[in-house]
Chains A and B, each alone.
Chain A
């Protein structure tokens, strides 16, 4: 290492410190009172600390403290204000729990929260108190709490080994790491035992005897050592951090990165914990990797469950988890290790026979050892015992919601009954044919029968069939003539062996087949979903398509919450909009807000709000919450095995599609704004043109009247007055239209869309243009039962009115005007045709631009605003507009479209 770099702070370390400081500005500070066992005085120490802080003027409040009727602790607690507890009714028992929401509302300067490892009563928001703690810290509330060493997740096994007690209530180690301060509350083991003798230690109501076992001197010494070690590690970490910040580091050193390779066994849990300890000791990031192989994919659901629960555990312990796919496990791991610049690899080695096969060319260990790239290798021995701890099994099953259903159990019983009946049946058949085929034939019959049953009903029904066949074989006296009973028994043993073997093979291959089929179907479903989502463009379409697809493939109904506004922020609104979450509406709505804010799933099968009868998953894209997906309970139980993960994948897909749709909607809004701006600039020109022209005539006529009144005849004067009248009306109309355009532009794009019959729109427009179109033959062709239009009636009338004005103004007087309408599935086509001279070829597009007029006849004088207005109104409605010259009669045919929308509910008669 070069000299000049020695005393400089490590930039990465500085950055980490800066980030931590940034985060802790908002995050609450955590102080932990840490002890080796119950009774060492943690609660008392915490309360003392609270009292001191109160004296310093801090707002200290007790969230929950268990004094266990110890007078000195109780007296201390009474000096501090306490938040009221929350009562939870559970199976006729009223439980009192810490009230998280009250604490969040109260926002004390320091909150005292006893017994961090506590499990909350069912019905609480979180399963564990440490989750409450995390939410408090996230909300910026400072907390002091107490923890015993045996509750730490990473030392869980060690404690089990020391004390022989499996501690179920655990706290993730990161809580300890994230704490600002860790205070070790320590008394000697002799003192603690004395306190126990004096009855000063509360052991809980039920497990008093078990706990008494726990309090053996040997245990206590070991636990005390463990607690001190954890505290010492923590101090060591602080020292290193201090040195890194203050450039006291001896050497910068190489960045380590640990990779832990896990398989699909329950035992890999130990590997994950070992990885955690190793990574903590090396202070390096760690990755837990699993390689999915074809063989792995065909493993049964239990193995899948273990894998997922172990990956979940790894995540909780702070690892990054990765699932790779490949044929060659070792190659995949090595490639990934190279990619991520991994320096250390941790693998497990089982203690069975296979450990002697490390030199075998295909073994993981052998190939890692012979790898060219220098990589640190740690081998962790895995326990040999096959009995997986019951609760880890339970946990993984719960995690995947794969508890066997009532129906499956019933089917299994039925299959066994069928097996027994079939066995008897075979013997009956044997009675009939034994004379013909003899004993060997009879045994062959049994064998075939057993295989057939194995094929259709599985292993155990097949065994049941053979056993019942064996029994009936003797009952029916088929064994007569058999020289030795021993011989027949032997034959049966062989048949049973063969049948079991075959049924095993059949069952395995059936399982594999169904697994493979399920996976294939699942991939195909995902593919269909992606394809369906890629075809839709609006947020509403994305959501309804997703709900439809999930319903048709998984058979479950999902609904959503989305931010009500355009920006991804609260409040949320439910989708589909005409429904709500149904029962538990309030609870679900507030859970949705929590999920949205914290971007974590909640409800059934998760750690948060697990008593809710539904599952809520956050839809997140690029760290940004876009909404919440809801699956309600009945449906969860119907879903296939690893639905949770599958739903997560689907949710991610939907989130991505949502983001795309949102961006597109924002963009189309921007396009619309651009169009509006372009129109605005043209409007000014229109105003001057449209108003000045008639004003000129009015002014001229009036001055003529004023100056030349004597020289004008009565009739001439009357004509001038009518001129003024006409021009004034024209000006008035122009103003009306300009105002309409201005409103359209300034009011943004808000259309007042309503359901309206086309006939009414056409009628309105004709009435508006009655005077102008006087004396023209009209044909109006609107099919009977024509669908209602969905649009702004005022603006649609304007469209027709302008088209009629055009048709009447620019065609010879008395020529016919034709209006017609038709509709297909997607659009409604509306046309106005005249019998004039048509549009000069090549100008069909141009005439929709502002101030564009085709050969204005003398005396008509329009501004050219009319068709431009038509175009913008139609475009605002999502339609198109065009003009063509008619081939047969001559003249022009103006057409526009409106998107066809599903019709509204019809009115009620009576």
Chain B
């Protein structure tokens, strides 16, 4: 059975391209709504009919009836388990941060490639199955033990300081998603330090030195410039077409 997705997008060309592409992929079934209002109706109707909620919503910000940013909290409230991914032509970091802060899981700036979209979707849908309970956290071949504060990556064992452990825990729990600076800072250092981005930067640097093969060219702990960080565990985020 294919996974149900909802696309909220007013541009017909993009909607058609995505419907064709996802249909060809075969794993997903994409429903399309061209305005915020109809999207809200569709989401409610689906729930009222007792169907499984959408696995993911792809939301364009420039909708004809309202600003997509205003819809983000609504979706988050109505359907907390749905992966909410923003598709927008707005490249401003402030917009990205705002969308992520109000509950979006990811942000793709137009133009994007199909491969990029599929890779992100895949990562998020897999993550939404990760349990949020206490105890050792496991994602892929990464395991974070809460007793010893040790991180295992396959065979490697890395011991972490208390702050590094807390930071790693937040990242691992949200593996694959973009985490805005403020969100990590509030989670690890407390809301009072939400503006001290240099705390985070210094600790990310420390983590990279411990985890990355080349700390100067991180492949796991990646930076979303001007927005935040993303923990990339599998190689599912690389764009196959970018390699000649």
Show the binding face of A for B, using Cβ within 8 Å: 725, 728, 732, 736, 739, 743, 752, 754-757, 759-760, 762-764, 766-767, 771, 780, 788, 793-794, 797, 904, 906-910
Contacts and interface: CB of A to CB of B under 8 A. Distances in A.
A756 B198 contact: yes
B198 A904 contact: yes
A739 B91 contact: yes
Nearest to A725: B241
A788 B241 contact: no
B218 A910 contact: no
A754 B242 contact: no
A754 B197 contact: yes
Given A736-B91, A909-B162, A760 B217 contact: no
B202 A763 contact: no
Contacts of A764: 223, 225
Interface in B216-232: 216-218, 222-223, 225-226
Nearest to B197: A754
A766 B222 CA distance: 12
Interface in B183-229: 189, 196-199, 201-205, 208, 215-218, 222-223, 225-226
Given A763-B217, A910-B163, A732 B111 contact: yes
Most chain A CB within a 10 A radius of its CB, from B91, B92, B217: B217
A233 B87 CA distance: 85
Contact of A907 (B162, B203, B218): B203
A743 B91 CA distance: 10
Contacts of B111: 728, 732
Given A752-B226, A904-B198, 4 more contacts: A756-B201, A788-B202, A907-B189, A907-B203
Most chain A CB within a 10 A radius of its CB, from B93, B163, B223, B243: B223
Which 3 pairs from chain A and chain B are nearest by CB? A755-B198, A907-B199, A794-B226
10 contacts: A756-B198, A757-B205, A759-B215, A760-B201, A763-B215, A763-B218, A788-B202, A793-B225, A906-B202, A909-B163
Given A762-B216, A763-B218, A788 B198 contact: yes
Nearest to B188: A907
A756 B216 contact: no
A755 B193 CA distance: 14
Contact of B196 (A739, A756, A907): A907
A755 B205 CA distance: 13
Given A760-B205, A907-B196, A908-B189, A794 B161 contact: no
Nearest to A766: B217
Contacts of B199: 907-908
Given A766-B216, A766-B217, A910-B162, A756 B197 contact: yes
B223 to A, nearest CB: 5
Contacts of B216: 759, 762-763, 766, 780
Contact of A771 (B197, B215, B226, B242): B242
A757 B222 CA distance: 14
Interface in B122-136: none
B171 to A, nearest CB: 15
Contact of B198 (A736, A752, A754): A754
A788 B242 CA distance: 33
Nearest to A903: B198
Given A760-B205, A767-B217, A910-B163, A794 B197 contact: no
Contacts of B161: 909
Contacts of A752: 93, 226
Contact of A797 (B218, B225, B241, B243): B225
B117 to A, nearest CB: 15
A47 B204 CA distance: 78
A766 B223 CA distance: 11
Contacts of B162: 909-910
Contacts of A736: 91
Contacts of B197: 754-756
A908 B203 CA distance: 10
Contacts of A760: 201, 204-205, 223
B163 to A, nearest CB: 5
Most chain B CB within a 10 A radius of its CB, from A743, A763, A908: A763
Contact of A755 (B189, B201, B204): B201
Contacts of A794: 93, 225-226
Contacts of B223: 760, 763-764, 767
A759 B189 CA distance: 23
Most chain A CB within a 10 A radius of its CB, from B111, B161, B203: B111
Nearest to B196: A907
Nearest to A794: B226
Contacts of A762: 216
A767 B198 contact: no
Contacts of B203: 907
Contacts of B204: 760
A774 to B, nearest CB: 8
Nearest to A739: B91
A256 to B, nearest CB: 67
A780 B215 CA distance: 11
Contact of A743 (B92, B196, B215, B225): B92
Contacts of B201: 754-757, 760, 788
A739 B197 CA distance: 25
Contacts of A725: 241
Nearest to A792: B226
Contacts of A771: 242-243
Interface string B153-168: 0000000011100000
A329 B91 CA distance: 76
B9 to A, nearest CB: 19
B76 to A, nearest CB: 26
Most chain B CB within a 10 A radius of its CB, from A732, A754, A757, A760: A760
A909 B203 CA distance: 10
Contacts of A754: 197-198, 201
A569 B145 CA distance: 59
B114 to A, nearest CB: 12
A907 B198 contact: yes
Contacts of B163: 907, 909-910
B58 to A, nearest CB: 19
A910 B111 CA distance: 43
Interface string B34-52: 0000000000000000000
B199 to A, nearest CB: 4
B115 to A, nearest CB: 11
Given A763-B216, A766-B217, A757 B189 contact: no
B106 to A, nearest CB: 18
A756 B201 CA distance: 6
A718 to B, nearest CB: 12
A271 B201 CA distance: 73
B126 to A, nearest CB: 23
Interface string B58-73: 0000000000000000
Nearest to A754: B197
B241 A757 contact: no
Contacts of A908: 189, 199
Nearest to B226: A794
Nearest to A780: B216
A744 B61 CA distance: 22
Nearest to B112: A732
B85 to A, nearest CB: 19
A763 B220 CA distance: 12
A761 to B, nearest CB: 9
A788 B205 CA distance: 12
A437 B225 CA distance: 98
Contacts of B198: 754-756, 788, 904, 907
A751 to B, nearest CB: 12
Contacts of B202: 757, 788, 906-907
Contacts of A739: 91
A89 B68 CA distance: 60
A728 B226 CA distance: 25
Contacts of B222: 767
A759 B209 CA distance: 11
